[in-house]
Amino acid sequence: MSETLPVAIVGGGISGLGAAHALHKAGVPFRLYEAAPRLGGVIQTDLHEGFVLEGGPDTILAQKPEGLALARELDLTDRMVGTNMEQRTLYILTGGRLKPMPEGLALAIPTKMWPFVRSDVFSWPGKIRMGLDAVIPPRRGEGDESIASFMRRRLGGEALRLLGEPLLAGIHAGDPEQLSITATFPRFVEMERNHGSLLRAMLAAKRAAPAAGASHGAPGAQGGQGGNGRGPMAPFFSFKAGLGELVDALVARLPADALRTGRALESIARDESGWTLAFAGGESVRARALVLAIPAPKLVPLLQPHARDLVQLLETIPFVSSATVLIGYRREQVAHPLDGYGLVTVAGQRISTMALSFLSTKRPGSAPEGHVLLRGFLGGARDPDVLRMADHSLVAAVIGDMRSHLGLSGAPLFSRVYRWPQTTPQMTVGHFGRMEQIDRLTGTLPGLFLTGAGLRATGIPDCYGDAVKTAEAARAWLG
Ligand SMILES: Cc1cc2nc3c(=O)[nH]c(=O)nc-3n(C[C@H](O)[C@H](O)[C@H](O)COP(=O)(O)OP(=O)(O)OC[C@H]3O[C@@H](n4cnc5c(N)ncnc54)[C@H](O)[C@@H]3O)c2cc1C
């Protein structure tokens, strides 16, 4: 252990790799340590007989500039695949029936009047209550609130049950009563603040969009211009061989001898010249600056001996577990047209599946000709014990939930289960306030930098963006 590295990065997900990429471009030597045998963290793509299996994230939101910028920088634009622009229906399973959500729904806000009025997803009182958003005065005060409180206040209880829980909280696999609206959907807060109403903000964004020619209108806007400047851009994108291409391209740009997998960090110690990292198996290394890009629950035991206050705050960031179940069929085994991105389910029904993506429709090229690929999503705040179920039970649960609604017949060609223990952060009410304190307390430990999902960011583009900023802070600190 004679050498002292300028920077050690721990965690090889998009956050750790993003920090490594930024340091490498700036000419700062580093070494990255990852506990698993592979890099990418929750980004895990497997190719199976012509199917592209995404075990973790399946697409990147195009509206966030960081993801597109990274794809361009890694020369991946010719490999990009946008999500299907023709078949974008989202279904909802409610009251035992599968119904299409009205056209023009931008995340949780209707942007087209007639499809919404004609839709049988919402009751008449529910629709009228949602319409009242246009006249209900905006909230006074700056304090944070939950997704549930925000939705109830602006759009009513039915909108919370049919949109807020399955769609908004569902993106974070979370409980709408707990999740912070400011941390998860800041645009909604801005819309209320700037326009006094979500519906009015949407209309203003729609009016402005053609003039501005930009995609940065409404949250979850379905399309728009942008990306390569060659015309309409899909709302989400991936790559021909899946998101694994992004990880491979990032790794290919980094010096191979700076990447160490199979190294789980067990403890850290600090003295005036820097940090000493001890890994499982006995290896240790010294570094002047330490970038930890691992989930908060994994930070807790490492930081416990150094900063109790900081640890107490990190413990307030809960993480939930989930599972994804990928199932392949021949096209004729599925009666449903699968003419959309998939379906969400309403809580409180006797089903385990929270959402199901029609991946072969949503992301063209995910399945070979004449085949379909479905992906069930289970667990999260709705079912915290989901990972107690065996693989075959998870597969049976998804097929059982969907058989009659999608008209599934016969045994699937294959199924594969991916387990995600404690990997999805819950940014709960007051998150950003606590984050300010976390940042302040981290600053009292010289040379320590924290990034990763659940702190200042979540999702691939934001995690990458935060990692780049964190790497810049580490470089500036090194001088
Ligand atoms: C099922 C699922 C679906 C998702 N879908 C999407 C989507 O479609 N689009 C999107 O943008 N985002 C999606 N997300 C969120 C997004 O994938 C994550 O926010 C992001 O990838 C997190 O990256 P990260 O590097 O911060 O964390 P991770 O990917 O969790 O990486 C952390 C790494 O740290 C390593 N590690 C932990 N402890 C140690 C230790 N002691 N020593 C060494 N290494 C350690 C872990 O092994 C892991 O590789 C999804 C997430 C999940 C779980």
Q: Concatenate the DSSP letters of all residues of 16-84 into one string.
A: HHHHHHHHHHTT--EEEE-SSSSSSTT--EEEETTEEEESS---EETTSHHHHHHHHHTT-GGGEEEPP
Distance from CA of residue 405 to its chain's centroid? 27
Residue 466 Cα to ligand 1 midpoint, Å, equals: 14
42 pocket-lining for ligand 1 (C-beta < 6 Å): yes
Domain 4-39+244-317+429-478 class, CATH top level: alpha beta
For the beta carbon of residue 2, count every other beta carbon within 10 angstroms.
4
Mean pLDDT by 10 residues, the chain (479 residues): 88 98 98 98 98 98 95 97 94 96 86 90 96 94 93 96 94 96 95 94 81 33 36 85 98 98 97 95 96 98 96 97 98 98 94 97 97 98 97 98 97 98 97 97 97 97 98 97
Q: Looking at the chain, which residues constitute the CATH 3.50.50.60 domain(s)?
A: 4-39+244-317+429-478
319-425 is classed CATH 3.40.50.920? no
Q: Which residues pair with 286 in a beta bridge?
A: 4, 276
| Residue 322 pLDDT | 98
Closest C-alpha among 409, 275, 386, 261 to residue 321 = 386
| Residues 235-247: tens digit of each pLDDT | 999 999 999 999 9
| Residue 1 pLDDT | 59
Question: Counting atoms of ligand 1 from 1, which one is nearest the CA of 451?
Answer: 26
Paired tokens of 367:
């399945």
| Residue 228 pLDDT | 41
The CATH number of 103-230 is which of 1.10.3720.10, 1.10.540.10, 2.60.120.1030, 1.10.3110.10? Answer: 1.10.3110.10
| Residue 106 pLDDT | 82
| Residue 229 pLDDT | 41
Residue 388 Cα to ligand 1 midpoint, Å, equals: 21
41 pocket-lining for ligand 1 (C-beta < 6 Å): yes
| Residue 220 pLDDT | 32
